[in-house]
Amino acid sequence: MNQGSELAMVVMYVMLAMLATLSQTRGDEAESAPAVRAVDFRSQQVYKSQQDPSYTSWVSFFPGERGQWYLTCEEVTRPDPPLPKCTRQQWYEMSLPDGYDKSQYRMEIVMLESQDNMKTWRVISRQPVRFQHSAGSFGQARTTDGRFLRFLWSCYSLETLQSTPTRYSTNLPTMARPG
C-alpha cells in the first residue's frame, strides 16, 4: 500500500488535467497548440507516512495569502489491532460497493505548508477522522485572516454528526502555527 512519491505526482496530474480541460473550453484555438506544456518539471517526494503499510490520497493544493502554498491529503494506515467495522446500518446508508470497507483503517487528514516557493514542505496539521470513505480532505481553504476551513462529507462519517450532508470545521489542530 505504500505510495512513496506519488503524492507529488498526483498534484501534478490534477493540475495538468485541469489545464487540459480549460484549454478544451477555449474553442478552436486550443486545437492548434498543445493543451499543456511542462517546463522545468521535476518530481519530488514531499511527504511519506512514517508507518508501513500506508497510502495517501485525496490531495488538495491551494495558495495562502502571503505566498505560502498548502497541500493536504488523507493518510490511511493499518492500526494494530484494527478499528471496529462499521455497522450493517451504516454500510447500507452509505451505499458503498462490496469490498470498500475502510472502517478498520486509521485515517488522518494531513496538511503541509511551504513558505519557500514549494522547495520544502513541513507538516503543520494532522487531524484523525473516523470516516468510511474520504472525509473530504480535498475541500479546504485559508481565509485572509489566517483561519483554515475544512469541508467534510458527514454522510461518510462513522461518528454521529449533524444530519447535514456537508459541514465545515474551522478549529483545525495545528502542530505549528502558520506564518
What is the predicted pLDDT for the residue at 92?
81
What is the predicted pLDDT for the residue at 19?
63
**Average pLDDT value for residue range 44-49:** 88
What is the predicted pLDDT for the residue at 115?
94
Q: How far apart are CA 174 and CA 125, in angstroms?
A: 4
Amino acid occupying residue 98: D
* 160 compared with 140, residue with greater pLDDT: 140
Over the stretch 22-37, which tens digit does the pLDDT of each residue have?
656 555 554 677 788 8
Over the stretch 65-118, which tens digit does the pLDDT of each residue have?
888 999 988 899 999 899 988 888 888 887 878 778 888 899 888 999 999 988
List strand residue ranges (DSSP E) for the chain, in order: 54-63, 69-77, 106-114, 122-129, 140-142, 148-153, 166-169
What is the predicted pLDDT for the residue at 26?
56
Q: Please give the grid coordinates belonging to residue 87.
A: 455497522
In percent, the amount of the chain with pLDDT more than 70 equals 66
34 and 50 Cβ atoms separated by less than 8 Å: no
Report, in this order, helix, strand and coil percent for the chain, each rounded to 5: 20, 30, 55
